[in-house]
Amino acid sequence: MRSLVILPTYNEIENIDDVLRRVRASVPDSHILVVDDGSPDGTADAAEALGAQLGNIEVLRRASKSGLGSAYRAGFTKGLAEGYDAMVEMDADLSHDPAVLPDLLAPLSDGRADLVIGSRYVPGGRTPEWSRARLAISKVGNLYARTMLGLQVHDATAGFRAYSNSALGKIDLDRVRADGYGFQIEMAYAVQRDGGRLVEIPIEFKDRVLGTSKMSSLIVVEALLLVTWWAVRDLPSRFRRRAPVVTGGT
């Protein structure tokens, strides 16, 4: 199975070498696409230099910071055009452990899933560094999305996930406009509505050690508003197409 690991970056010079080496070690046969939004700190140059050493690393340079959702759409579009069987989303700040990549890809490889989500909220999933308030906000947001949209996953906002080529090919990426948490919810919702099979595997989510987070409260508000809009828009048909979800490891 040919897989493409997509890493959106903006000012990740402190993490880029480590994350690329660890991804390469975890999934040696995968290709890596760094989608860099004009990082002024030289992230793109560093990624290209390491790619010359390790191989199978490409940098897609974009002129300016355009958002997480936009970066993944660009990566998916390129991956579909080049015929990859699976495409992975993951953060470049090492919040997502590259060692989990084989487990994330396995349900796609054996045909059990169309979307595999690295979940913080299934048995075995953990957020050890989060405050109770942060954990509560995240869980309530996921409960709201699950209730309003009929989503059959516990962690719809998770950003560590793998899609099959067939699942992504059914989605009109030009019409996916959300960013951040809203993007992750919208994509999971689209896969489920198209009859895709969703699997969650437990992960431990760690806060970044180096660099600065790009998330903001506006992204959270956007996600809640979009979930409400999608629920109202799709109310007549939301129960017509359901797909079973398997929770657990590989």
The number of domains in the chain is 1
What string of DSSP letters covers 134-149?
Answer: HHHHHHHHHHHHHHHH
∠ CA 235-168-115, rounded to 5°: 80
With a cut of 50, list the residues of the chain below it in pLDDT. 211, 214, 238, 241, 250
C-alpha neighbours within 13 Å on the C-beta side of residue 199: 21
Burial readout 89-113 (b: 16 or more C-beta within 10 A, e: otherwise): bbbbbbbbbbebbebbbbbbbeeeb
The SS3 call for residue 186 is helix
For residues 198 and 213, give the distance between their C-alpha atoms in angstroms, rounded to a whole number. 28
pLDDT at position 227 is 84
CA 79 from chain centre, in angstroms, equals: 14
Nearest to 20 by CA among 47, 42, 52, 60: 47
Phi, psi of 11 (to 5 degrees): 55, 60
CB 3 within 8 A of CB 86: yes
Q: CB within 8 A of 172, min separation 6: which ones?
A: none
pLDDT at position 245 is 57
Tens of pLDDT, residues 143-170: 999 999 999 999 999 999 999 999 999 9
Q: What is the CATH number of the domain that holds 105?
A: 3.90.550.10
Enclosing domain of residue 123:
3-247
- The token duo for 222 is 């956007």
The β-bridge relationship of strands 31-36 and 3-9 is parallel
For residues 166 and 80, give the distance between their C-alpha atoms in angstroms, rounded to a whole number. 9
pLDDT at position 250 is 45
